[in-house]
Every structure is written in structure tokens, then in C-alpha cells.
Chains A and B, each alone.
Chain A
Amino acid sequence: MATPDDSRTSGIGLQRFGLGARPGQPRDQRDAARESMLAEVARGVVAQPLNPPFSGAAEIGGALFAFEDKERMEREARRVAGQAQAMQVAAAPPNPQAAQNPQAPVAPQAPAAPQNQMAQPAKPPNEPPLPFKTYRDEVVARVQLALEAESGFAERLVQFWSNHFCIAATKSNIGRSMAGAYEREAIRPHVFGRFEEMLVAAESHPAMLDFLDNRLSVGPGSPAGKRRGRGLNENQAREILELHTLGVHGGYSQADVTNLARIITGWTMVGREAVLGFPGSFAFNIGLHEPGTQPLLGKDYAQPGKAQGLAALTDLAHHPATADFIALKLARHFVADEPPPTLVASLSEVFRRTQGDLAAVSRALLESNAAWNAEPSKIRSPQEFLIASYRALSRKADPGQILGPLGVMGQPFWQPSGPNGYPDTNAAWASAEGIKTRIDVAAGWGRQAAGSVPDPRALTEDILGPLASPETRQTVARAESKPQALALMLMSPEFQRR
């Protein structure tokens, strides 16, 4: 493998395909970024976050339902206690303690406990409710992994695929609690595996079935459909075709959407009653499944039960339109808004020839000189900007310092405003308001990190190396303060573009 000889081209590797340099990273590690990324592909394994809050979707489901049940009981207890107190107040002289703070909610177990007695081992103050806490802990676990990664190529692929098959943590308690687990279970294991396996894992994950409503979809001719008169919800079927496989111009019709919706009826999540398994886990519920043969894209699917959906998804994964769609998205993400057509064509060719072997496709991307030599034109997304900045400044994964900045920059983890995920073009992220917000954020990071960086000029050399322009070097050197110098480095064109 020939490494690009131009030092500037070689310097872009960690930025374009990875998550950016860390201080003190050996020169040869950066110059050999291509080899080290290819080695990541060869290993074929993507790291999993350490210490996630729950082991998996089923465990989350159990905890979440228990949490919601407890909340409901407490609300009810508060309501009853409130009524009882109101009656007491009406009947007796006012209680001085209550009068002091009439707004305070009454704790259900210990309404009259003396102040020196702990009512119960309460959760620490400011501890958020379970779904938010779970989300926060998953974010921290994910960021930690990204900060520790040597090159970050695999993590970038995780971000890409997680956004391709996105779910939204904001949809419901289920989404908020399961967003991290979804990525760990449906995306990470398949990044260097087969596309069809990632597709099935994503479409059958409870988080996706909740996000795109298939959880509630009922075949009109199924036992439940006949009994309850409920019916289809075609949301997930539509997005499978439009966003996850063929692409919107992939040649399907409204009838295909409806038929795919019928095909995947019964793909659902076990509810709190735990009839079909552990609450929160995936289940195929035959009682919801539309019986019979369904046509899709000119082919009949007669398989019984869940096998019908698996067969349809496998065919969609191998469809040529899917190969083209994925190739374009990958090249756009890593290389340029308008990527070189030859690169797109070659990625699509590899995808088709290998029937969606994602290790082969990733290898083809890294080995492409067209991908490697393109001018750095893409602006880093807010998530990439945050990770690259934290790596450069040796910051830790503190939740408050992640959620806030990503929120204001418009790209919090797992919260796209629609099922098409976050945009992946400069028009979206290099806007006037976007840049202004980034500067505000960078100014804050500069202030916070100034104490731990001995010399911003040296750090700029270390992080940007051959990429740094004379103008950027001079601008950093002439800054009026260390915090400002760091903000200037983070906002320099060479740090922003990859």
C-alpha cells in the first residue's frame, strides 16, 4: 500500500477518516494513519462502550416499566395524600410546618416525618429520572470510547451508520432509555459485518420499532386486527425503502410501501405484561401479523411469520439501488458534498460484488486515492467538532460539558428531528448561525482548557502539524490570551475542515 507522499495529504488522514489527533500522538502513527485504519478493518471488531448503564434492551425495558409504574403509584399517592391533607386542613388548626411551605409536595411514605429523620435512602439531589439518566450515561460511555480511540475510523463509521439507521431519543421514554443500547446492539456489531445483518438488527430493534411506530402496527386480517378493528401503520415500511435501503428514487411505489408494512406486521416489542418474553425485548407476535402472500417490487413473499420480513429485508439489502444509495452517502460523509463520481461508482461496485460486505466497502474507501487526495472541503459536524476538540484539549467526558454544547450547535446525540437523520453537508453546518454558535462554544472551551495547556502554539503544531497555514499559526501566536489562542486554533479553517 502506497502511502501518499505529500505530508499535507498524509496529515489529513486522522481528520478525514478519523476523529482527529491527540497531543503527543507519535508522528509515525499519524503518518501511517491509512495503515492503522486498514488494520482496524482487518481486525473486524468494533469496540463496545465500557460500563454502559444497562446490559441490553430487555434489561432496560424491565427497569423502565418498573420506573414508570413506580412514578404512577407515587403520583397517585401524592394525589390521595393531598386530598387527605386538604380535608385535615379544613377540619383542624393549620399546621405551622405546612403553612410555611404550602407548595412542597408531600412525600407518600413519610408525610409527617420529623426533619432529623431520613425518610428513605433517596436518590442524590439533581439525579435525573431514569430515562434521562440512562441517556446521559450512554452518552458519556460513547464519548469516552471516541476520546480513547487511536484513529477513530471505526467510531466514525459507527456515527455514520447510527445516523443512517437513526432513531430519536426524544420520541418517548423507550427511545431515550434505549438509544445507546440500540447503537451497541444494532450498529456496532455489524460495522465491519454484512449490511443485511445490520439492516435486520436495526429494523427489529425495539428502539426502532418504537421510533417508527411498527410496534403498534396491526395486520387488518390478523387475529388482533379482526378482533380489535385496528390496523396498519406504514411509517417504518416507508422509511426502510426510502431512507434505509433503496433511497427515495429507488423505484418503489405506494403499493410497495403498504405491502412491506403488511410483511413486517408482528415485529414488535414485548410490553410490560411480558406475554411474549422479557419486557422491552423484540418479539414477533403472530397475532398481529397479516397472513398471506405479499408482493414487493414485483416478487411474491409467501414465507410464514417473521421469515417473510427477513426475506424481504435480505432482498432489499442486496438490491442494486441500495448499493448506489449507500455508496453515495458514504462518499459524501467522508470526502465531499459532491464526491468524485468514480469513487461512488467503485464503492457501489464493491458493495454489489460482495453482497454488502461492509469491511470490503470500508477498505475500498480507505484505499481510494480519490478519497484520500481530495481537498479538505467538508466542515466537521458538531459531534465531530466536539470529539476532535476534546481529543486536542485532552478533556474528559463530563456529561454537562457534552450535552449542552451539542444541543446549542444543533446535533445532540441520537436526537435528529426526523428519520432521515442529521444532514451531512456544508450547507447545513457551515451556516452563519452555525459558525457563530461554534465560536461561542470554542470560546468557552478555550477558557476552560487554558490552565492545562502550556503553550497553544506548540499544541497547534502538535495537532494540526503540516495542515496549519502560516496565517493560522500567526493568528494563534498573536492571540491576546491563552484562552483566545485555543479558541482560534479550534475555529481555524484547518481544524474545522477535513
Chain B
Amino acid sequence: MADTTEKPAVGHPGTRPARGDAPVPAPAPRRARFWRRLTPWLFLAVPLALLIAFTYAPIVNMVAYSFTDWDGVSPELHYTGTENYTELLTRSDLFEVFFVSGYYLAASAVQIVVALWFATVLSFDVRFRNFFKGVLFFPYLINGVAIGFVFLYFFQDGGTLDSVLALFGYHSDHAWLGTPVSANTSLAGVSVWRYLGLHFVLFLGAIQSIPGELYEASELDGANRWHQFRHIILPGIKPVLTLTVILSVSGSLSAFEIPYIMTGGATGTETFVIQTVKLAFQFNKTGLASAAAVVLLLIILAVTWLQRRLVPDDRVDLV
């Protein structure tokens, strides 16, 4: 990441539009200058239009709805001021669901460690390296809904998990989704299985961008694999590691797909997003649900900001 920002500096200054105090040899005619300035905007027009239409406009809409009592369909809606926010912040039961995020947070920690381990191992010369890379990344390519259904069978009484355990002589009589603790652990396990591949690929990419000479040099100095990991790989992939942590934290707070499909939030597996969806679509409180979504957005922004302050994104300078 860091070296991309340095490259333009040694590029061709002549092609850059004149700015500041650098003397301009012969100012281009007005029309030409106009077109030259317009060109980047023309290229940006389509993505910007899409971004505004499908990301920012809905967000602004959502914020607007969060100040109303809209039920999601009625043509009549009334402005209620900050009533929805007051209700949200005064009803403690609406925030209890964040305890469930704890399971996903713990699972992300496991996930990052495992992904890092696999990425490190597979970045060295290992037999069937590409095969294993494929195997690890594969779950991320499957549709989340399909994963939900597959794992419902997996956790069923006498399902895949029970049969596999029986092969090893362990006959469990455990309802995997039966109690809040066991259900949340199982669901968090599914999300580890699903997102491991993504994080693995991110780490792998970062590790492979580290120049190979460094390993050779370190080996001459007598470093073992652990030393290489500790002093070359870890500092080398620090920006990606920070990014992954941020993604994991925000992902844990907004876990939705897997628990929603598998349990629908029953047996104490309700996450904040499931609760929001229920407010909007079961109880038709679109206004309140919008406010909840805004609050979640703010919480995630705050957590991200805090993280960036605690772990500043240092430059990587291995060479």
C-alpha cells in the first residue's frame, strides 16, 4: 500500500496539470483546458452516479425516516423529532442483543489467528499449496443462504455432525442449536468457516508482497521460521492486519445472514441487525428500525475510529 503512494512522485511531472508556483510554459487554449479538467469527471460520472443512487441516497432516506413514525407502507408519515432515538436509548432490552456479538467477536479472534497461520504456512513452499489455497477460499464463494441451509442439516439431531462424531466413537446426544450458549457458539463457528477464506486471501496477498530477498537474507543471519514470522511477516502485513481486525469487529456487531437463516433469532441468537429487521418487518416500525440502523452505523464508525487511534496505520518500511 505504501509504495503506491510514492511512485507518482518519481513519475512524469510534465503530464500533471500545472498547479501552484511551477511556471507554465504555454497555457493551453481555454477550451482544451476545460476538456482536460472535465475528463476525469467524465470517467467518474457513472461510478459516482451509482454510488449516490444506491448508497448515499438510501442512507439519507434512512436518516430521514428515522425521524418519523412511518410503518413502511402507509402514505401517511408524521415527523416525530428525536422520539425514535429516545426510545432506542432508553429501552435497555434493545441493547441486550449486543451480548450475542461477543460470541462473534471471540470467533473473529480465532478466525484471524487461524487465517494468519494458514496464510503463513502456505506462502512457503508446501506440497499441494494451490490445492489447499482453493480449499480454504472455497467457502467464501458459496452463497450465504445456501450455507445457512447446509449447516441446518449439519447440526440436526442425527445430522452430519453427529454422524461424523459417531465415526470416532463419540455418540453425542447434544442439541447443537438447543441452548443459547451452544447455539451461538455453533453459529459463530459457521461464520468462522465462511469468512476464514476471505481473511486468508487478504493475508496471503500481503505476505506475498514482501520481497523474497528478505527471507534469504534473514536465513543467512540464522533466523528460523518463527523469527521470520515475527520480524518480517508480521510487521510487513500490519496494515492488512489492522484492516482485518476492523472488518471483523464491524462484522461481529452487524452479524445477520447466518443466524437469521438458521435460527431466525430464536433461542437467544438474536443480533442487533436481526432485531432491527424484526422491528421493521414484523412490527412495522420502519421509523424506529431506521433509527436503530443509524445507531449501529454510528457505533461501528466510533469503534473504527477508536481502533485507528489505538493502532495508528504506520508506514511499512522493511527495506
Do A and B interact? no
A residues bordering B, Cβ < 8 Å? none
